[in-house]
Structure 1
Amino acid sequence: MTTYRIGVIGLGQRIAHMLAAMQEVGWNLDLAGYVDPAPVGRPILEAAGIPMGRSFPTPAELMKGGPFDLLMLGAPNHLHFEHLAFALDQGAPIFAEKPIVRTEAETEALAGRLAATGAPPIYVGLVMRSLPIVQEVLARIDGGDLGELVSIDATEHLPPEHGGYLARNWRRRQEWGGSYLLDKVVHDFDVFGRMVGARPARVASFGGRRIFTAERADPPRTWEDGSAAYALRDAGWAGANDAFQSDMDVTDHQVAIVEYANDVRLSFHANSHTSLTERRWYAAGTEGTLIADLVRNKLMVRRALFRGRPEKIEYGGVTADAHNGADQAMAQDLLAALEGRAAFPVSPYESMEAGLTVMAIDRAMEGRQVVDCGPMWARYDAARSGVGEQRLADEVL
């Protein structure tokens, strides 16, 4: 069996969980080196029995410890473009955590960079693409089970502990993570774009902070059994002590409306502090409807003119983090891609387009207006064709 020699830039919790999942599904891996002055993923690797490898002060020094069969990028989002720009020059395949980059300018610069020849493959950690329930949803839509897709209603409602973690973690700040939707919900908008088969034409959005705010001076801090609340996870790099007194500047709830270029319409509702958690997609077509419950890992489908019981599929494997085995499934997909047995489920271009969709939604919210996405797609397509590549890269760096 091939041993994969791996170098990591940014050994955070997500990359550590991914490495643990890779080992769990049978990878023979060697974490040969990493760059991270304070690797918060260390406890996860120790629990999985994965040796940390050698610590390097900089990415350039890390490469002197190569060669590597895979470079894994897991630093906070504001460093993604810098690390990708470096990794693309090294030649090794790249696994990059989502969102692939944080801003429109970075997206255009990366699109231009990828337009150049010789770029190594990039595999982006949009983990939901690897879930069997998501693959079944796409197969049903592609197969015509719903007829023509007309509209989608979707939600993601997090439990209080998860929302509290985000309010303490570096993701609380736009300068580090981008927006709440970009970091947390870009998964969903990636899949929606794939379901619809078109790009957004117009978007609108409303959102803000009403939960994790300093004005809530004395919120309840314990569960009904007296155990401490909002303290489930280590806040990690640049963490804040208090979810309600932090310097958070991203939304804690948001709604969005999207009209795609092929006239499919979507509504989305996100809330980071709910007592009834939900991640649900309701897709209605001319010939049928499906409901995908991503928390409980259940799918329900019925034809429009059918009075019998709907078809129900329960996938099981429900986990506390609601990933439901997605990390392990993505680890298998990544290995298959590296071995040339199958294409990875999502391309870097699809990842960039999902990110741009969310960025347009956030612009609509901030500007209190309906945003026409046409100019954004024109700039992206020009960059992807190689127009202005060096100018864009210089502006970002």
Structure 2
Amino acid sequence: MGAPIYLKDAPKVALIGGGFIGPVHCETLRRIGVPVAGVLEINPELGKRTADRLGIPKVFTDLDELMADPEIGSVHIASPNFVHYEQAMAALRAGKHVLCEKPLALTSAETGELAKAAAERPKQAAGVNYNVRFYPLCHEMKARIARGDLGQILSITGSYTQDWLLQPTDYNWRVEPDGATNLRAVSDIGTHWMDLAQFVSGLKIEQVMADLAIFHPERRKPVGGSETFTGSAAAERATEPVKIVTEDYGAVVMHWTGGVRGVYHVTQCQAGRKNRLSLEISGTEGSIVWDSESPNCMWIGRRGRSSELFERDPSIMDPSAEAISHYPGGHAEGFPDAFKQLALSFYGWIAGGSTGPAPFPTFADGHYEVQLCEAIARSAKAGRWEAVSD
């Protein structure tokens, strides 16, 4: 059922960054038979701790040493955002495949250069880790929309909500400005929503009108730093006050290709929502709703006959969705499986000779997401509609 789970003769991978998401990459690669041969951290001491914790055999002392290693054929970038451009460009120039966490870089000038460099190297896989695309029912939604089940698309709406930054004592490096758009909720999780909505609908967001809000103008920063999703900092550690300029909340009204309308909101301050992406696409013949907190179900709305709750079951799904669903109906697939399916598409494309359209989010997709963020930032500042540069 679906694609093979274990890949033979895959390139050896070096992991850059071992924070919250780095170990997810490591576990994912091992599930599909891709060897993780080395790790690079901000210094060799941290690299040694990460290597010991994750069972990685080699620690690189710096980026140059990693790129010069002929045994490393692919690089996974899970480091802080401000070093993505340097690391991704170095990997491309060294002839290595590269899968980068979002954002691809901080500015569209940087992402444009990376997209151009990737296009000049068509045999190198260059992807961005928009893993939400790879929940099977997201592919099912895409297939149904493409074959016209919803009729003419009218609107695309939804949200992405979390609560891990609800309190002023909650702190993480993500609340700090990046010196570019200085977006946080929109760029951190809103980009996942925008990528998924465009992937599923086959449409592009062309214009935006944005409203951003800061609920906590000051937060308490733990002395010595903090990790993602670790909860309130002030209860156990010394803190210092920090002025906040990145948004806790954002709402974006959108004009899509062909006159389609839409709106979504994003916040990391909604109590009880741990990590919920909700997407609703409405057309003249029906609508579909998918919720990442119930990823194995989607609601299909109809007028004139009963609506339906569709449960993930490869035996009755579109072939494109069946191919990325490896367990029978009733056997839940979730966050780690979406990572696995993205990695399988990435390394399966490499194993197939890197021919045909890339079946994973590309550097070109990552470039457009940063252009979207820049348009949203301009709109919020000027209080007007802004076109997305292309």
- When normalised by structure 1's length, the TM-score is 0.77
Number of the residue aligned with 1:27 = 33
- 1-structure distance, mates of 2:77, 2:294: 30
Q: How does 1:107-118 map to 2 (within 5 A)?
A: 107-117=111-121
Query: How has the CA–CA distance of structure 1 residues 61 and 41 changed in structure 2, closer, same or farther, with 3 Å as cutoff?
Result: closer
Work out whether residues 253 and 263 of structure 2, in 8 Å CA contact, stay in contact via their aligned partners in 1.
yes
- 2-structure distance, mates of 1:166, 1:22: 35
Percent of counterpart pairs with the same letter? 19
- 2-structure distance, mates of 1:257, 1:39: 46
Per the alignment, in what secondary structure is the counterpart of residue 247 of structure 2? coil
Number of the residue aligned with 2:250 = 254
Task: Indicate which of 349, 357, 364 corresponds to 2:379.
Answer: 364
Query: How has the CA–CA distance of structure 1 residues 83 and 232 changed in structure 2, closer, same or farther, with 3 Å as cutoff?
Result: closer
Work out whether residues 31 and 51 of structure 1, in 8 Å CA contact, stay in contact via their aligned partners in 2.
no
Number of the residue aligned with 1:333 = 345
Work out whether residues 15 and 41 of structure 1, in 8 Å CA contact, stay in contact via their aligned partners in 2.
no
Task: Indicate which of 45, 70, 73 corresponds to 1:69.
Answer: 73
Displacement after TM superposition at 1:109 (Å) = 2.4
Displacement after TM superposition at 1:167 (Å) = 5.4
- 2-structure distance, mates of 1:69, 1:317: 34
Number of the residue aligned with 2:94 = 90
Per the alignment, in what secondary structure is the counterpart of residue 373 of structure 2? helix
Task: Indicate which of 124, 129, 136 corresponds to 2:128.
Answer: 124
- 2-structure distance, mates of 1:332, 1:16: 17
Per the alignment, in what secondary structure is the counterpart of residue 24 of structure 2? helix
Displacement after TM superposition at 1:40 (Å) = 7.0
Tell me the amino acid that sits aligned with residue 21 of structure 2: R
Q: Deviations over 1:74-99 (max 9, x none)?
A: 22111111112211111111111111
Number of the residue aligned with 1:291 = 289
Per the alignment, in what secondary structure is the counterpart of residue 233 of structure 1? coil
Number of the residue aligned with 1:13 = 20
Tell me the amino acid that sits aligned with residue 359 of structure 1: E
Q: Deviations over 1:125-171 (max 9, x none)?
A: 11111111211111121121111111011111112x35569952221
Number of the residue aligned with 2:322 = none
Number of the residue aligned with 1:383 = none
Per the alignment, in what secondary structure is the counterpart of residue 55 of structure 2? coil
- 2-structure distance, mates of 1:165, 1:6: 39
Q: Deviations over 1:39-95 (max 9, x none)?
A: 879877756xx4233322321122333331211222211111111221111111111
Query: How has the CA–CA distance of structure 1 residues 324 and 241 changed in structure 2, closer, same or farther, with 3 Å as cutoff?
Result: farther
1:170 aligns with 2:170: no
Number of the residue aligned with 2:321 = none
Task: Indicate which of 207, 211, 216 corresponds to 1:206.
Answer: 211
Work out whether residues 317 and 325 of structure 1, in 8 Å CA contact, stay in contact via their aligned partners in 2.
no
Query: How well do the aligned residues superpose, as a CA RMSD in angstroms?
Result: 3.4
Q: Deviations over 1:169-226 (max 9, x none)?
A: 221122279522112221111122223433333210111211x343x89xxxxxxxxx
- 2-structure distance, mates of 1:147, 1:289: 9
Q: How does 1:179-194 map to 2 (within 5 A)?
A: 179-180=183-184, 181-194=186-199
Displacement after TM superposition at 1:269 (Å) = 1.0
Query: How has the CA–CA distance of structure 1 residues 41 and 197 changed in structure 2, closer, same or farther, with 3 Å as cutoff?
Result: farther
Query: How has the CA–CA distance of structure 1 residues 266 and 250 changed in structure 2, closer, same or farther, with 3 Å as cutoff?
Result: same
Tell me the amino acid that sits aligned with residue 156 of structure 2: I
Work out whether residues 287 and 305 of structure 1, in 8 Å CA contact, stay in contact via their aligned partners in 2.
no
Per the alignment, in what secondary structure is the counterpart of residue 364 of structure 1? helix
Per the alignment, in what secondary structure is the counterpart of residue 7 of structure 1? strand
Query: How has the CA–CA distance of structure 1 residues 260 and 98 changed in structure 2, closer, same or farther, with 3 Å as cutoff?
Result: same
Displacement after TM superposition at 1:115 (Å) = 4.3
Number of the residue aligned with 1:381 = none
Per the alignment, in what secondary structure is the counterpart of residue 254 of structure 2? strand
Per the alignment, in what secondary structure is the counterpart of residue 13 of structure 1? coil
Per the alignment, in what secondary structure is the counterpart of residue 190 of structure 1? helix
- 2-structure distance, mates of 1:198, 1:231: 32
Structure 1's unaligned 5+ residue stretches are 218-229, 378-397
Work out whether residues 94 and 122 of structure 1, in 8 Å CA contact, stay in contact via their aligned partners in 2.
yes
Q: How does 1:41-60 map to 2 (within 5 A)?
A: 50-60=54-64
Number of the residue aligned with 1:225 = none
Per the alignment, in what secondary structure is the counterpart of residue 35 of structure 2? strand
Number of the residue aligned with 1:346 = 361
How many residue pairs get matched?
350
Tell me the amino acid that sits aligned with residue 40 of structure 2: Y
Tell me the amino acid that sits aligned with residue 300 of structure 1: W
Per the alignment, in what secondary structure is the counterpart of residue 2 of structure 1? coil
Work out whether residues 10 and 74 of structure 1, in 8 Å CA contact, stay in contact via their aligned partners in 2.
yes
Number of the residue aligned with 2:316 = none
Query: How has the CA–CA distance of structure 1 residues 100 and 119 changed in structure 2, closer, same or farther, with 3 Å as cutoff?
Result: farther
Q: Which is worse superposed, 122-131 or 194-203?
A: 194-203
Work out whether residues 18 and 50 of structure 2, in 8 Å CA contact, stay in contact via their aligned partners in 1.
no
Work out whether residues 157 and 264 of structure 2, in 8 Å CA contact, stay in contact via their aligned partners in 1.
yes
Q: How does 1:219-234 map to 2 (within 5 A)?
A: 233=230
Displacement after TM superposition at 1:259 (Å) = 0.3
Query: How has the CA–CA distance of structure 1 residues 313 and 246 changed in structure 2, closer, same or farther, with 3 Å as cutoff?
Result: farther
Tell me the amino acid that sits aligned with residue 330 of structure 1: L
Structure 2's unaligned 5+ residue stretches are 1-7, 221-226, 313-328
Q: Deviations over 1:235-276 (max 9, x none)?
A: 99xxx975x943432101110101013111110111212124
Work out whether residues 349 and 359 of structure 2, in 8 Å CA contact, stay in contact via their aligned partners in 1.
yes
1:134 aligns with 2:138: yes
Work out whether residues 150 and 286 of structure 1, in 8 Å CA contact, stay in contact via their aligned partners in 2.
yes
Per the alignment, in what secondary structure is the counterpart of residue 69 of structure 1? strand
Displacement after TM superposition at 1:324 (Å) = 6.2
Number of the residue aligned with 1:101 = 105
